[in-house]
Every structure is written in C-alpha cells, then in structure tokens.
Amino acid sequence: MATKLSWFNTPESLIAMYPRFFALLWMLCALLGAVPAQAAWTSMGLQDGVGFFVDAENVETVNGYRRVWVLQNYPSPNVYGAQSMMMLIEIDCKDEKVRLLKLVGYSGQSQSGYSQTLRSDTGAWEVTKVGSMFRSIQFAGCRQQMKGGYKIYTSKY
C-alpha cells in the first residue's frame, strides 16, 4: 500500500493552507519593505589605496547646499577600526567648500558587518585640496544633474 503525503492528500488540505500561505507572504513583504534601500554607488576612483564612491542617484539640495553620500572602502581597518565609512557631506558650490554632516563606520567592506555612528554633528566648512578625491566629489556634486555614468579624474583639478 502506498503512503500518502500528509500535506497534499486532499483538496481540503490545500484550501486550508491558503490563509497561512498568504499570511506568511504578507509578513515577508512587510519585512522586506522595512529594510532601507541600498544606494547605487558610483565609483569615483582610488586615492592612496582607498576606494571612493558616491550615491549619484540621491544628491539633494537643501537650503542652497548640495548633499552627497560618500562611501570609502579601506584596504585594511583604519584608525576607527572600520574597513568602510559612509559619510554625508554638504557642499557650498558658490564658495567651493565642504563640511561633514554624518559619519558611519562599518567593520567590513562596502557597508558590511557591524556599524557605528562616529559623528552626527555638523562640521566646520573646509576648502578641499586641489588633486584630492573630495575636490572631484565637490565638483561632481555641484553639477546640475548627477546621475552617474561619467568619470571624474582628480588629475584634472
């Protein structure tokens, strides 16, 4: 005599599973919706072994200043013990200055591992150094549309 599968032996058991299936599906969708969206990072290049990326799709203008998220990947842990750092910088395009608004360190590359907010206060305005990656990010952030796909080379500035 053949044994029957316990779940799928009758149409009634299939019908009884629907409410549970849809409840689990709804819960999965709710949990996935609660996870913050990942940025579409655009590579700006390497400087001193550190990889620089910007979230070119989400540049904002707030009170006349441009705000850009920057990701740095380090080849080994830096002084904070982080292998990647994400920062929100604000750019004054008229006076060509930048300041730090938020800094988050991650134990792994590309925002992986545990995270810690290292700074959340508004920093002082600073002039970027000619030839630095932040100078390239400043110029890129001040463009009217920053949608990625173009390259900025620090040797130009």
The per-residue pLDDT for 20 is 57
The per-residue pLDDT for 38 is 59
Residue the block writes with tokens 């830096």:
78
The per-residue pLDDT for 19 is 57
Are 89 and 70 in contact by the 8 Å Cβ rule? The answer is yes
Q: What is the pLDDT along the chain (157 residues), one digit of tens a residue?
A: 443 333 334 444 444 545 555 454 444 444 443 333 457 899 999 999 999 999 988 889 999 999 999 999 999 999 999 999 999 999 999 999 999 999 999 999 999 999 999 999 999 999 988 888 889 899 888 874 444 444 443 333 3
The per-residue pLDDT for 155 is 37
Whether the full predicted model's pTM is greater than 0.75, yes or no, is no
Are 141 and 111 in contact by the 8 Å Cβ rule? The answer is no
CATH number of this structure's domain 41-156, picked from the four choices 3.40.250.10, 2.40.128.710, 3.40.50.720, 2.30.110.10: 2.40.128.710
